[in-house]
């Protein structure tokens, strides 16, 4: 890799360039933008989980004081498919006017039967989410080798059933836009992970030319995979602004975030893993179902890859049989969520692997070293085990004594990442200052700072001489920020542009190297028109494929069922570290997201009403300050691999490592994520009889669901990762 060896910025700690603006309140996020005369917009949503809407009367709302526009989400009759489905939208002069007018919208609808629980939806007599289609869409069984023979020959076999929750993104800034029209040209300030993707989708949905749409995202408050598209709310906002003839701001409420704008699909997994006496994995089988929401499998509506996930994850037993299904329910649609499919895949695979290790009397680290095909990850296990003190801390499952039991666990990640087509423009002014322009966006990952430091490094300048312009669809194109690809896409383009700048300045000045002490002299020759040079992403500066392993130490109170995570150790490779400071922050974030997945987060649906019972942050539990374990990070520096993104791999193994640590502490697995106190007590047999009966009933339901997946003939295989990343 041609990246410089001796560096001033690369691999060092650089505070983010927009930090001061963000800690003083000066930074204008999408939700802060307010053009003169902007109206407040809001969406009127379905209170039915399923219904045929016959008519919607907006007249009273339109006539309400302050209301300037009211529009329908659909013309004519239509079906609503979940509690929260969009029906209409209005815009008015104040939030209060809009709240009053929402109550005046009249809907005539015929409620229909609905189903919101996966295990109910797979039953043949269940209400159909999409009329005429079965709720369950199965992938065809995928098999390699002779699975039966391999299991028959195995020394030990572990069978584990696990489930994972529907996890909701809940970025702190909600989804939303402000749209302003000027004739047939529209400007959208969008809270988005992709300004170009937004531009193109707006152009299509509003039927205007792409060069008439301008999308701006100066600062945005998090996305985690849920903000690639402008969404239904974007189209409604644009239509309201068109109807009103003035700008409209439509930011969703927290309540709407919990219903409508994406989630990580749930899973129920039945796994079976066999090994030879030395621990070599020989046979693997999985049946799984999960729900991506109201639209499943071939009927995908929300841009997710369904509820399938990579299997077998990481490890490669010789004989495998995989069958996965997606089941539609009357609930909000899933979409990409930080490392789509992977935390789910890891939760099952790493669990059954540990259960198998216990049967073989093997150490969990040993069985991973034996079976992990990736050399870097194997080294990471060795490094991590030493740093973590694994040998001293690991005891046989259930060996911890006393009411509060300690346990340890580990797990790995595999993420393809990699960079791709991005262009950058560098403008050098006669005074020697530099402007770098690239149409990427900063989700909080520090990409604005990456743009600045890469240019500073390669041009040999102080970073404060460089201004980074991002978050605008009129800048040179860059892809959406997904798949941990932003840094690996942007950095090479800036590298290329910097090389071109240096070549141009050489020509202009006749100097051998226009950098360093020569910079001022060379720039003085630029003249009145600044020098503008382009660069493009190219091969050889970034690669894909990050691993990473994590170790968890937990304390489980067997009297209360409470799990406290004491420590997470992360060993993470990410190629060339661009900015150590923001890189570590991202890893902290991945771990904390995984902690939520392990212990707290789950969307809860009510079977009787079809409502989401916890659409707000007081009852959808996200990790808070008090829940923080000691997080220690070992970054593996491998500059020879070039730039590799890190945002997703670091969230993959956390929940699995925690779940394995809990199983190690208790000597019994808590099969369902999140591992809430009631589930710990249930696993310990400490719950009252009635609950035990309910659990047995549920377990029968799970079994029958797997049986229906196994028995179904199967549709063409749906890959667990296909379509997870709506890259542009």
**Does 277 interact with other proteins (rule: CB under 8 A)?**
no
d(CA 511, CA 167): 58
Which positions from 2 through 31 interact with other proteins, judged by CB under 8 A?
11, 15-16, 18-20, 22-29, 31
- Per rule CB under 8 A, count of chain residues that contact other proteins: 76
**Does 408 interact with other proteins (rule: CB under 8 A)?**
no
**Does 724 interact with other proteins (rule: CB under 8 A)?**
no
Which positions from 198 through 237 interact with other proteins, judged by CB under 8 A?
219-222, 224
Which CB, 45 or 378, lies closer to other proteins?
Answer: 378
Of 628, 687, 710, 715, the residue at the interface with other proteins (CB under 8 A) is 628
Which positions from 34 through 93 interact with other proteins, judged by CB under 8 A?
34
* Region binding other proteins by CB under 8 A among candidate stretches 172-180, 295-303, 477-485, 675-683: 172-180
**Does 482 interact with other proteins (rule: CB under 8 A)?**
no
Which positions from 483 through 522 interact with other proteins, judged by CB under 8 A?
none
**Does 370 interact with other proteins (rule: CB under 8 A)?**
no
Find the shortest distance in angstroms from Cβ 27 to other proteins.
Answer: 6
Which positions from 567 through 586 interact with other proteins, judged by CB under 8 A?
573, 577, 580-582, 584-586
**Does 710 interact with other proteins (rule: CB under 8 A)?**
no
Three-class HEC string of 479-502: CCCCCCCHHHHHHHHHHHHHHHHH
**Does 624 interact with other proteins (rule: CB under 8 A)?**
yes
Strands 404-412 and 423-428: unpaired
Find the shortest distance in angstroms from Cβ 30 to other proteins.
Answer: 10
Cβ count near 516 (within 10 Å): 10
Let me know: does 374 contact 338? Beta carbons within 8 Å: no
Strands 176-182 and 248-251: antiparallel
Which positions from 82 through 111 interact with other proteins, judged by CB under 8 A?
94-96
Find the shortest distance in angstroms from Cβ 88 to other proteins.
Answer: 21
Which CB, 137 or 174, lies closer to other proteins?
Answer: 174
Q: How far is CA 198 from the centre of its chain?
A: 18
Peptide bond into 674 cis (omega under 30): yes
Find the shortest distance in angstroms from Cβ 378 to other proteins.
Answer: 6
Peptide bond into 131 cis (omega under 30): no
Strand partners, 285: 272, 321
Which CB, 106 or 637, lies closer to other proteins?
Answer: 637
**Does 623 interact with other proteins (rule: CB under 8 A)?**
yes
Of 113, 148, 559, 637, the residue at the interface with other proteins (CB under 8 A) is 637
Find the shortest distance in angstroms from Cβ 32 to other proteins.
Answer: 4
Find the shortest distance in angstroms from Cβ 236 to other proteins.
Answer: 19
Q: Is 430 left (phi over 0), alpha (psi -120 to 50) or beta?
A: alpha
d(CA 544, CA 644): 6
d(CA 411, CA 679): 22
Find the shortest distance in angstroms from Cβ 577 to other proteins.
Answer: 7
Find the shortest distance in angstroms from Cβ 683 to other proteins.
Answer: 28
Q: What is the token pair recorded at 306?
A: 């369904």
Of the CA atoms within 13 Å of residue 313, those in its CB half-sphere come to 31
* 413: nearest Cα among 167, 668, 587: 587
**Does 170 interact with other proteins (rule: CB under 8 A)?**
yes
Q: How far is CA 634 from the centre of its chain?
A: 23
Let me know: does 109 contact 54? Beta carbons within 8 Å: yes
d(CA 243, CA 152): 68
**Does 670 interact with other proteins (rule: CB under 8 A)?**
no
Task: Write down the residue that tokens 């003190």 correspond to.
Answer: 389
Q: What is the token pair recorded at 362?
A: 């093997």
């Amino acid at each position: 890799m041609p990246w410089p060896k001796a560096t001033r910025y690369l691999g060092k700690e650089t505070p983010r360039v927009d930090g001061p603006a963000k800690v003083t309140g000066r930074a204008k996020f999408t939700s802060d933008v307010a053009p003169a005369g902007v109206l407040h917009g809001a969406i009127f949503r379905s209170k039915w989980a399923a219904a045929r809407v016959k008519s919607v009367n907006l007249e009273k709302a339109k006539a309400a004081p302050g209301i300037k526009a009211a529009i329908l989400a659909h013309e004519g009759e239509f079906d609503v498919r979940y509690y929260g489905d969009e029906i209409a939208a209005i815009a008015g002069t104040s939030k209060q006017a809009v709240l009053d007018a929402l109550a005046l919208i009249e809907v005539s609808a015929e409620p229909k039967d609905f189903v919101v629980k996966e295990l109910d939806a797979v039953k043949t007599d269940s209400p159909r989410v999409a009329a005429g289609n079965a709720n369950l869409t199965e992938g065809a069984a995928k098999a390699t080798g002779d699975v039966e023979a391999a299991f028959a020959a195995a020394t030990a076999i572990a069978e584990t059933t696990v489930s994972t929750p529907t996890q909701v993104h809940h970025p702190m800034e909600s989804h939303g836009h402000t749209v302003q029209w000027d004739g047939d040209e529209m400007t959208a300030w969008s809270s988005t992970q992709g300004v170009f993707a937004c531009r193109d989708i707006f152009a299509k949905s509003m039927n205007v030319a792409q060069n008439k749409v301008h999308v701006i995202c100066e600062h945005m408050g998090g996305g985690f995979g849920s903000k690639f598209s402008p969404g239904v709310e974007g189209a409604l906002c644009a239509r309201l602004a068109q109807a009103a003839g003035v700008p409209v701001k439509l930011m969703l409420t927290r309540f709407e975030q919990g219903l409508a704008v994406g989630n990580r699909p749930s899973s129920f997994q039945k796994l079976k893993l066999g090994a030879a006496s030395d621990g070599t994995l020989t046979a693997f089988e999985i049946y799984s179902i999960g729900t991506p929401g109201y639209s499943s499998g071939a009927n995908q509506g929300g841009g997710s890859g369904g509820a399938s996930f990579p299997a077998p994850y990481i490890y490669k037993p010789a004989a495998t049989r995989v069958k996965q299904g997606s089941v539609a329910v009357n609930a909000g649609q899933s979409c990409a969520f930080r490392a789509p499919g992977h935390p789910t895949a890891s939760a099952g695979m790493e669990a059954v692997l540990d259960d198998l290790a216990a049967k073989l009397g093997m150490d969990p680290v040993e069985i991973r070293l034996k079976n992990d095909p990736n050399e870097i990850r194997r080294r990471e296990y060795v490094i991590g085990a030493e740093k973590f003190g694994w040998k001293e801390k690991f005891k046989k499952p259930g060996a911890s004594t006393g009411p509060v039991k300690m346990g340890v666990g580990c797990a790995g990640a595999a993420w393809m990442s990699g960079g791709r087509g991005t262009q950058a423009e560098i403008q050098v002014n006669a005074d020697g200052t530099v402007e770098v322009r690239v149409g990427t966006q900063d989700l909080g990952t520090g990409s604005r700072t990456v743009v600045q430091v890469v240019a500073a490094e390669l041009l040999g300048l102080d970073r404060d001489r460089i201004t980074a312009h991002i978050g605008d669809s009129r800048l040179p194109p860059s892809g959406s920020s997904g798949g941990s690809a932003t840094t690996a896409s942007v950095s090479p383009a800036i590298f290329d542009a910097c090389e071109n700048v240096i070549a141009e300045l050489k020509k202009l000045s006749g100097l051998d190297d226009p950098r360093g002490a020569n910079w001022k002299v060379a720039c003085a020759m630029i003249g009145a028109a600044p020098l503008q040079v382009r660069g493009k992403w190219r091969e050889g500066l970034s690669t894909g494929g990050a691993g990473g392993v994590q170790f968890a130490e937990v304390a489980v109170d067997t009297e209360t069922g409470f799990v406290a995570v004491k420590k997470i150790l992360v060993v993470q490779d990410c190629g060339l570290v661009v900015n150590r400071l923001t890189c570590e922050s991202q890893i902290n974030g991945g771990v904390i997201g995984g902690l939520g997945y392990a212990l707290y987060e789950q969307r809860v649906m009510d079977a009787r009403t079809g409502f989401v019972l916890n659409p707000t942050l007081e009852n959808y539990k996200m990790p808070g300050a008090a829940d923080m374990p000691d997080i220690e990070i070992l970054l593996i520096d491998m500059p020879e691999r070039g730039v590799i993104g890190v945002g997703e791999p670091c969230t993959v193994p956390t929940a699995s490592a925690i779940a394995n640590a809990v199983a190690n502490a208790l000597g019994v697995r808590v099969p369902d994520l999140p591992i809430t106190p009631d589930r710990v007590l249930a696993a310990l047999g400490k719950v009252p009889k009635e609950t035990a009966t309910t659990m047995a009933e549920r377990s029968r339901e799970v079994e029958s669901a797997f049986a229906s997946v196994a028995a179904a003939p199967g549709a063409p295989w749906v890959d667990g990762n296909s379509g997870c990343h709506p890259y542009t």
